[in-house]
Amino acid sequence: MSIRHGLLALLERGQMYGYQLRTSFETETGATWPLNIGQVYSTLTRLERDGLVRALPEHDGGQRPYEITDAGRAELAIWFATPIAHADRPRDELAIKLALAITTPGVDVASVVQTQRSSTMRTLQQYTRLKKDGAELPWRLVLDSLIFQAEAELRWLDHCEASLVRYVPPATAGDVPAAQAADEITGSKR
Amino acid sequence: MSVLELRDVHRRHGQGATEVHALRGVSVSVEPGEFVAVMGPSGSGKSTLLNLAGGLDAPSTGEVVVEGAVLGSLSRSGLARLRRRRIGYVFQDLNLLASLTAAENIALPLELDGLAPRKARPLAEAALAEVDLEGYAERFPDQMSGGQQQRVAIARALVGERRLVLADEPTGALDSQTGEAVLRLLRAKVDAGAAGVLVTHEARHAAWADRVIFLRDGVIVDTSTGIGSAEQLLEVSS
Nearest beta carbon to residue B234 from set A31, A119, A147: A31
Nearest to B212 among A32, A114, A121 (CB): A121
Distance CA A159, CA A16 (A): 48
| Model ipTM value | 0.76
pLDDT of A165 reads 80
pLDDT tens digit string along A90-102?
Answer: 567 788 888 888 8
pLDDT number for residue B236: 45
Whole-number pLDDT of residue B57: 92
What residue ranges do the domains of chain B occupy? 4-237
Sheet hosting strand B195-199, strand order edge to edge: B87-91, B164-168, B195-199, B35-39, B211-216, B219-224
Query: Is residue B114 over pLDDT 90?
Result: no
The whole-angstrom distance between A186's CA and the closest CA on chain B is 43
CB B120 within 8 A of CB B107: yes
- pLDDT > 90? residue A105: no
Residues in contact with B162: Cβ distance below 8 Å, sequence separation at least 6, in sequence order: B85, B86, B87, B88, B194
CATH of domain B4-237: 3.40.50.300
Classify the C-alpha dihedral B175-B179-B180-B185 as positive or negative.
Answer: positive
Phi, then psi, of B158 in degrees rounded to 5: -120, 15
Quick one: pLDDT at residue B230? 59
Average per-residue pLDDT in chain B?
Answer: 88
Residue A188 above 50 pLDDT?
Answer: no
Gap between the Cα atoms of B33 and B189, Å rounded: 8
Q: Rounded to an integer, what distance in angstroms lies between the CA atom of residue A75 and that of residue A81?
A: 10
H-helix segments, B95-229: 102-112, 117-130, 146-158, 176-191, 203-206
Interface residue B231 vs chain A (CB under 8 A): yes
A26-40, A86-100, B69-83, B150-164 — which is least confidently predicted?
A86-100
Instruction: Specify the DSSP class assigned to residue B174.
Output: S
* Residue B101, helix vs strand vs coil: coil
Residue among A33, A122, A162 minimizing CB distance to B226: A122
CA-CA distance, B207 to B191, in Å (whole number)?
A: 15
**Per-residue confidence band for A89, with pLDDT thresholds at 50, 70 and 90:** low
Contact status, residue A144 vs residue A132, Cβ threshold 8 Å: no
Question: Distances in Å between the alpha carbon of B7 and those of A179, B36, B60?
Answer: 55, 16, 12
**pLDDT above 70 (res B234):** no
Is B165's Cβ below 8 Å from some Cβ in A? no
Phi, psi of A55 (to 5 degrees): -80, 135
Q: Which residues pair with B197 in a beta bridge?
A: B36, B166
The dihedral over CA atoms of A146, A151, A153, A154, expressed in degrees to the nearest 10, equals 150
pLDDT band at residue A179 under the 50/70/90 scheme: very low
Q: Are B229 and B223 in contact (CB under 8 A)?
A: no
Mutate to test the interface with B, among A111, A115, A121 (most CBs of B within 10 A): A121
- Using the predicted structure, report yes or no on whether residue A32 has a pLDDT greater than 80: no
For residue B231, what pLDDT band results from cuts at 50, 70 and 90? low
pLDDT interval class at B189 (50, 70, 90): confident
A89 against B149, higher pLDDT = B149
| Cβ contact, residue pair B203, A129, below 8 Å | no
Instruction: Please tell me the predicted confidence (pLDDT) of residue B238.
Output: 41
Total Cβ atoms within 10 A of residue B232: 10
> Residue B90: is it exposed, middle or buried by C-beta count within 10 angstroms (0-12/13-18/19+)?
buried
Among B231, B39, B191, which Cα is nearest to A143's?
A: B231
pLDDT tens for B137-168 read 999 999 998 888 888 988 888 787 788 999 99
Q: Do A147 and B204 touch (CB under 8 A)?
A: yes
> In chain A, how many H helices and how many E strands?
8, 3
